[in-house]
Structure 1
Amino acid sequence: MFGRRKKSGSAEDVADEAREAEQVVDELDGTEAADGPRRVNLPPAPRPDGPWDISEVSRPGEGRVDLGGVFVPGVEGMELRVEVAGDAIVAATVVLRDSAIQLQAFAAPKKEGIWGEVRAEIATGITQQGGIIDEVEGPLGWELRAQVPVQLPDGTSGAQLVRFVGVDGPRWFLRGVISGQGAVQPEAAGLLETVFRDTVVVRGEGPMAPRDPIVLKLPNDAQMVPEGVQQEDQETSRFSGGMGQLQRGPEITEVR
């Protein structure tokens, strides 16, 4: 309940009331910007369909690959790759036919989401490179659909279509980068979007600075296969039959 404070007329009370009034104005101004709702520095939104925090799932390893910082859902026919920065594994990429989604988890503030802020930084970086950005509300919430400038094999310039998706959780942020046909045709992205939603994030209780990547690890019985090299015998691997083998993929550049 809120009670009305008695006014004493003192300078201290007047100053307190002025500060409260300024706070209310700031909150109201932040709710609606001139061009629409404010999308940065908001508390994490509800996640009724995932991605999940480890505290929200009773059996995270059931049907998922344990990579330490995240549990990635297993999908029939998929190939799982890991991305390395230095000596640390910081991202996992699920490749499914001619589409892929890269998953990367970061630490985040306790009461404030960072996806709106990260979106703005990604958009700025791509437009500065000559790319085109479209911010839309998609199946996974607010996302960026980008045309990123690339150099084609024949030396000419082209553009790659990419979708950046993200969700804020309790003290963590999960980012997905969808490429291939999943970034072009919505019907090709459905399974990748399901993988993103059903991912479980393990933030841990230790102190981490906001935006620090949540480091991943290989499962105990996994083998690292260099990119482009095929395993001759996958029958003995628990990643066979739809899970694929773990491969070391291209290193990523974190957007800060």
Structure 2
Amino acid sequence: MAEQEQAGPMRESGPWDADEPHPDTDRIDLGGLRLPHNPDFDVRLASVGDQHVGVVVLYDESSLQLQALAAPRSSGLWDEVKTKILAQAKHLEEREGPFGSELAGEMRVEGDSRPARYLGIDGPRWFLLAVISGKAAVDESVAAAFVDFIKDVVVVRGDEPMAREEPIPLSRPTDQPAAQPEDRQGLNPFKRGPEISEIR
């Protein structure tokens, strides 16, 4: 822990960049995102074709969608993405939220409408978009669980060149390279691991 403190002042909360000092807690490793464990949450990978592009978390009649995108080194994406969302969704208004400016109002999906909040967080060379919909979009007590979850997400941007707004690739925990035997000390084969299902 002392090494992390020497690496620089630790912010009070994330989302964290994988290369910055952050709390070393047990997280679900999905490659481009590492998610905190919450036994009340149903975590699913969202896929387009063969690529995992985002995460959907279900909890208490609500959903949280997370997507991490590559961003330019020089500037964030949230102002630009916000403008695009407002152009498509007329029933949203801008307000201040736990991560700064956010959009809140109604989300229209296939003729149906439900309350929604769009939260954007600019990080170093990445952008994290979080969309809270359902009960949590209007009930702060339910939203708080999602906000705490977002605050402990770690984004793993990697060093590969990526196009602006390209989704940072995700993988199922079972898709990760197998650990070497010496790395597996402390692994309890009888402990139930995270169950990740897919949405296509």
TM-score computed with the length of structure 1 as normaliser: 0.64
Q: 8 Å contact 1:80–1:93 — kept in the other structure?
A: yes
TM-superposition CA deviations, 1:27-85 (whole Å, max 9, x none) = xxxxxxxxxxxxxxxxxxxx65211000124675x321000000011112211101001
Distance 2:192 2:134 in 1: 27
The letter of the residue matching 2:138 is: V
Distance 2:108 2:18 in 1: 37
The letter of the residue matching 1:185 is: D
Deviation at 1:220, TM superposition (A): 2.1
User: Higher strand fraction: Structure 1 or Structure 2?
Assistant: 2
**Residue of structure 1 equivalent to 2:29:** 66
Q: 8 Å contact 1:163–1:179 — kept in the other structure?
A: yes
Matches within 5 A, 1:131-150: 132-150=91-109
**Structure 1 stretches of 4+ moved >3 Å:** 57-60
**Residue of structure 2 equivalent to 1:51:** 15
- Root-mean-square deviation (CA, aligned residues, Å) is 2.0
Q: 8 Å contact 2:60–2:135 — kept in the other structure?
A: no
TM-superposition CA deviations, 1:103-154 (whole Å, max 9, x none) = 1100000020010110110110112xxxx11110112211111312345xxx
Query: How many residues matched?
Result: 177
Distance 1:97 1:213 in 2: 27
**Residue of structure 2 equivalent to 1:196:** 150
**Residue of structure 1 equivalent to 2:164:** 210
Picking from 164, 173, 190, the partner of 2:127 is 173
Distance 2:43 2:31 in 1: 15
Distance 1:58 1:139 in 2: 19
Picking from 137, 160, 164, the partner of 1:183 is 137
Question: What percent identity do the matched residue pairs reach?
Answer: 38
Answer 1 or 2: higher relative contact order, Cα 8 Å, separation at least 6. 2
Q: What is the DSSP-based 3-state SS (H/G/I as helix, E as strand, rest coil) of the residue aligned with 2:136?
A: helix
The letter of the residue matching 1:247 is: S
Distance 1:112 1:150 in 2: 31
The letter of the residue matching 1:123 is: L
Deviation at 1:201, TM superposition (A): 0.3
Q: What is the DSSP-based 3-state SS (H/G/I as helix, E as strand, rest coil) of the residue aligned with 1:134?
A: strand
Alignment partner of 1:91 is 2:54? yes
Matches within 5 A, 1:221-236: none
Distance 1:158 1:71 in 2: 32
Gaps of 5+ in 1: 1-46, 152-156, 223-234, 240-244, 252-256
Gaps of 5+ in 2: 1-10, 177-189
Deviation at 1:216, TM superposition (A): 0.1
Picking from 114, 117, 120, the partner of 1:163 is 117
Q: 8 Å contact 1:140–1:193 — kept in the other structure?
A: no
Matches within 5 A, 1:10-29: none
Structure number with greater Rg is 1
Distance 2:22 2:160 in 1: 21
